[in-house]
Chain A
Amino acid sequence: MSVVTRRHEELHETIEDELPDAILDFDEHHNAPAVVANPSRVDDVVRILKQNGYNHLSSVSAVEYDNRYESVYHLRRITDDREDFDEINVVAPADPDEPAVETVSDVFKGANWHEREAYDLMGIRYDNHPDMRRILLPETWKGHPLRDEYDVDQPQYTTLEAHANPIEERYEVENDAALDTMFLNIGPHHPATHGVLHLKTVLDGEVVVDVDPDIGYLHRCEEYLCERLDYKYQIMPYPDRWDYVSAGMLNEMAYARCIEDLAEIDVPEYAQVIRVLAQELSRIAAHMLAVGTFALDIYGELNVIFMYAFKDREIVQEMLEDLSGQRLMFNYLRLGGVAYDLPEPRDEWFGKIRGFLDDLPGKMDEYRSLLEGNELLRKRAEGTGILEPETAKEYGCTGPVLRGSGVGYDVREVDPYGYYDELDWDVVTYDGCDNLSRVLVRLGEVEESARLVEQCVDILESWDGDREIQSRVPRSITPPAETENYTAVEGAKGELGIHIVSDGTEKPHRFKIRSPCFSNLAVFSELAEGEYLADMIATLGSLDLVFGEVDR
């Protein structure tokens, strides 16, 4: 019996002993066992699980069934020991007429936003939630769009008053000192928000007193769309549109992993190597952009770091274009493999990659000297935007943001997929917990990605077996009814997870995207409050948010 299985049995007993009335049932999801909890006691169940080491709440997903709503919590265990990785799901079934579930936001602060999203899109109320507002849609929206009964044709009105600010009033009446504060709308159109983020900011002089990120300006109903498309071909182009700045391959892998796992589709080894190659090139491009835009946020001008990073990204972008025929919306992965074999002539393409990899160490030195060697930049980036590891875990931060706080959680390492297990690479962590650390993590990861790319190129160059790029996949993919699966991959920004609930047809019943940027943004107000306005902007840049992924 493995460690994990034994732990599950022990947990089983612990929960039943301590909370006999909170447990309704035990269930088995495709990725992990599930605890079916009494909706009014679900916080206790999650708390027990947290005490037993499940310290990372990946996502909260709301699912509608004929006779009930379900609120599904995906918990993970992050420790230093890779063997110790484990998942567990908690399911809280709710009444079909008046769905209500007890909030777990007092157990995991990160649940706050996830529950708001579930409320917004599916209409499940979370009792005792500190801030039960809509999150993606405007406050005046009628209905909950992911419900079956939702009428897409009904007119919706969003008035300007809907955006009147609640914080302003709170700050103006609370006490006299607060009268000196100024309310400032940063965004949705602002040079530093990297897209369409609206920060409702209260400033005391230059110091940020309160900030409330307002998202949803780029909500394109990705989940809704995916639920109406078939697994085999139609969904695959959509992941490219989540994190759209060149991280498309990683997003596609997130979907491919989840459905291949659920429908038990094998991927030929050759295709797996190509997938890793494509993903890591994508990651290099995405991190280059992140480093460049961070510099842009601190400089506010077209500075050399930004230009150099963009130039290097362009080289990678061209390789990806050669591979997939597209610059950003790759649509390159297929279930059971990839769409095309490597571009011909292969040697020329490999030569291009090798040329880039040879130049990379010199370039990385230059980036390091530009970022670390610049006294003024260090003054700005060091010790600002402090994210303690405990806070980061509490909010479900992942990716370079978490690794910049010294926690070495990388899905590729703890929960390996594809070909990563066969390759040699390291997880990069810095424990400065500040803006500079997060950027240095990304620089380090570019180097690690380059190592992976090099190994993939070596393997592919000396490949003498069958070049099978796709396995035989059934004409229509129909995972068994009532099965569900949550898997994640390491996207450019962190744990990019997909939760698919199947109803036995060739379209998903529920398609939930766990976006790393969403959770990384949720922690933002903790980072920004008490900082100077300029540092808040720098912190926003160091979180590396892409709003296609936050809003979906």
Chain B
Amino acid sequence: MVTFNDAVADLLGVDGFSPLVEFIVGIVGASIVVSVMLTIIGISAVWLKRKWNARLGDRIAVNRIGPAGLMVMPADALKLFSKEVVVPEDVDRIGYKLAPMLAAATVLAAFAFIPFGSGLQIADPETGLIFALAFASLSAVPVVMAGYSSKNKYSFLGFEREVAQAIAYEIPLVVSALAVVPLVAVFADTSAPLRMSNVVTAQQGPLLGVTGLPIPNWFIFAQPVAAVLFFVSILAEFSRNPFDLPEAGSELVAGYLTEYGGVNFVLLFLAEFAAIYFGGALFTALFLGGGSGPVLPAVVWFLGKTFVFYLVVQWFRATIPRVRIDQLLEFGWKYLLELTFLNLLLTAGILWVVL
């Protein structure tokens, strides 16, 4: 696996770029990734979410503007961007305005570490996984900023919940992700198992062949427990149902989003959806073999898997009720934390015995 810059260099038949060209090519790569993600997010947030949820609830949803309501996307975008930006009088203006930008920026920056496959990866540092998880954790900061600076009690309660939740699920998230690292070291035979491209490379071969049909060496098969734990943690980390307490529509009106409108709201909203995709991308890279798959190019497989993750998250939204804050924390601290550590130790133990 190579980064975007290497891929471009390969394509042009040059050995390397000067620092300036490196920078420019990097920017181009980042723009491609961001555009692709924004397009997907735009489609999902405005149109697919409605259609899919409607399908689950026996409804029809948008069908008036354009074929199958598809034109609702430009219409909504136009509506949202032309709305007046109302800043409430008593808010902390700096925090209030910075939070949406920070929210969108952090989560989009995090995509730099994702190995989309087909050479589409902006950065591939040796500690890529840790970087990616750190960016995931960073998503709590803008929520806190938004909630605290809004000077609204609902926002306040929302960000308080976010803090409690982020702390409780941070460790399980990281530890469950780390459970794949020893496997990476073994399968990819590398001394840099935290490098995201290595994580994907390790999952390319067959795990074992059953009657000629090879089961791919995706870590969801090698590490099923870690996959489930990681999935739960990522839902909680990004406040998706059933852990959507910081927003909690029926209790806190809109939680930390209560005081936001216009383009500021759009940015926060976008960050939320981007976070789902980022979670999906992490899950795909760690447990679903990244872009591995037959026939189609790797990047298509990768985005397809991320898409399925998104649909599953939305399916949860329609069918699973929100947990209460005490239940959420109890589950996080009492069960998830212990289980993830147990799983990590077991993995290490088994590998130690086997090897």
Contact = CB atoms under 8 A, between A and B. Distances in A.
Interface of A: 182, 184, 190-192, 203, 206, 295-304, 306-308, 311, 374, 376-377, 379-380, 532-535, 537
| Interface bracket on B | 20 to 34
Contact of A301 (B58, B59, B318, B325): B318
Nearest to B314: A301
A535 B253 CA distance: 15
Nearest to B56: A304
B327 A298 contact: no
Contacts of A377: 321
A298 B321 contact: yes
Interface string B223-259: 0000000000000000001101001111101000000
A298 B53 contact: no
A197 to B, nearest CB: 13
Interface of B: 53, 56-59, 153-154, 156-157, 241-242, 244, 247-251, 253, 317-327
Given A206-B325, A380-B323, A311 B250 contact: no
Contacts of B251: 192, 300, 533-534, 537
A78 B320 CA distance: 39
A299 B325 contact: no
A297 B319 contact: no
27 contacts: A182-B153, A184-B153, A191-B253, A206-B157, A206-B325, A298-B250, A300-B251, A302-B318, A303-B57, A303-B317, A303-B319, A306-B57, A307-B57, A311-B58, A374-B319, A376-B321, A379-B327, A380-B324, A380-B327, A532-B324, A532-B325, A532-B326, A534-B324, A534-B325, A535-B324, A537-B250, A537-B251
B253 A374 contact: no
A184 B325 CA distance: 18
B329 to A, nearest CB: 10
Contact of A308 (B57, B325, B326): B57
A535 B58 CA distance: 28
Contacts of A379: 323-324, 327
A299 B322 contact: yes
Describe A's contact surface by its main secondary structure: helix
A534 B325 CA distance: 8
A535 B154 CA distance: 16
A300 B248 contact: yes
B321 A307 contact: no
Nearest to B317: A301
Given A307-B58, A307-B59, A376-B242, A301 B323 contact: no
A533 B154 CA distance: 12
Max count, chain B CB within 10 A of own CB: residue among A296, A304, A537: A304
Contact of A300 (B154, B322, B325): B322
B253 A301 contact: no
B250 A296 contact: yes
Nearest to B244: A300
Contacts of B319: 303-304, 374
A371 to B, nearest CB: 10
Contacts of A182: 153, 156
Nearest to A207: B326
A429 B251 CA distance: 29
A535 B326 CA distance: 11
